[in-house]
Amino acid sequence: MKIGHGVYLSNSIKDNYTVVEDGARIEDSVVMDRSIIGPGARVQSSIVGRHSYVGAGTVLWGSVLGDDVWVGSNAYLHYAKIWPHKVVNDGVKLENFALT
């Protein structure tokens, strides 16, 4: 596991080979192995599947990402469910939404 500068981790589980970049916040969440949480991203009450990427400045709140999901920078996912092998582009906002 690699943890950058200014990272805040609370009540969460991070798996093997996870990268949490500078300024990211992870609270009450699970981040599976080989996932990357980008700089300044916030993961709150969420699950991030294996081999997934959460871009810089992105907010996940109460969301679930399947394995191999890519979420671009400055996206906002509020109670979103993203199935495996999907891409959410930069700046996308999803609320109470399932991407299957």
Residue at 65 is within a domain: yes
pTM for this model (two decimals)? 0.96
Amino acid sitting at position 49 = G
Predicted confidence (pLDDT) per residue in 43-63, tens digit = 999 999 999 999 999 999 999
Residue 6 domain-assigned (yes or no): yes
56 assigned to some structural domain:
yes
Question: Sign (positive/negative) of CA torsion 67, 73, 75, 79?
Answer: positive
What pLDDT score does 27 carry?
A: 98
Spans in the chain with pLDDT lower than 50: none
pLDDT of residue 1: 83
Sheet holding 81-82, edge to edge: 13-14, 30-31, 47-48, 64-65, 81-82, 98-99
Number of domains in the chain: 1
